[in-house]
């Protein structure tokens, strides 16, 4: 994932991932990878916006205890938006007692209207960039 080339923004799609902090009692960062290329560590309460080629993609989401992969299609000029967070599950009480234990992942696709409320814009000179959550 090198720097952007001078391409028409309308020919590209975008992936927005928001690490919401609702219910994320641990505020643990979540690692992202797109099509097997590392993106960044997304901290609680932040978002990242990535310009992507139209077509099929795989987004890997990993909090070191659990990893999940979602596959999605994006068209030129479209924005795909996911919200992710860490959540409690079986055995999570160990975190409070021992300082370590299982932390689970929650992933939801944002409503299309919500994605449309964040218009397509250039994320800067690189394919990844942190932006405030919508």
Question: What is the pTM (predicted TM-score) of this model?
Answer: 0.71
**3-state SS, one letter per residue, for the chain:** CCCCCCCCHHHCEEEEEEECCCCCCCCCCEEEEECCEEEEEECCCEEEEEEECCEEEEEEEECCCCEEEEEEEECCCCEEEEEEEEECCCCCHHHHHHCCCCCEEEEEECCHHHHHCCCCCCCCCCCCCEECCC
Q: Poorest-confidence range of 1-5, 59-63, 119-123?
A: 1-5
Q: What is the CATH number of the domain that holds 32?
A: 2.60.40
Confidence check: pLDDT of 31 > 80 = yes
Question: Could you tell me if residue 100 is inside a domain?
Answer: yes
Question: Could you tell me if residue 127 is inside a domain?
Answer: no
Domain count, the chain: 1
Question: Could you tell me if residue 55 is inside a domain?
Answer: yes
Question: Could you tell me if residue 36 is inside a domain?
Answer: yes
Question: Could you tell me if residue 26 is inside a domain?
Answer: yes
Range of the domain at 51: 16-116
pLDDT in tens, 43-71: 988 999 999 999 999 999 998 888 999 99
């Amino acid at each position: 994932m090198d720097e952007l080339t001078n391409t028409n923004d309308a020919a590209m799609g975008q992936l927005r991932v928001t690490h919401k902090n609702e219910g994320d009692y641990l505020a643990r960062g979540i690692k992202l990878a797109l099509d097997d290329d590392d993106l960044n560590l997304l901290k609680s309460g932040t978002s990242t916006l990535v310009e992507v080629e139209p077509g099929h993609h795989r987004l890997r989401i990993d909090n070191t205890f659990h990893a999940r992969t979602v596959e999605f299609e994006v068209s030129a000029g479209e924005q795909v938006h996911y919200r992710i967070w860490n959540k409690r599950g079986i055995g999570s009480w160990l975190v409070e007692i021992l300082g370590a234990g299982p932390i689970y992942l929650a992933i939801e696709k944002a409503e299309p209207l919500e994605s449309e409320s964040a218009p397509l814009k250039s994320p800067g000179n690189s394919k990844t960039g942190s932006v405030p959550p919508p």
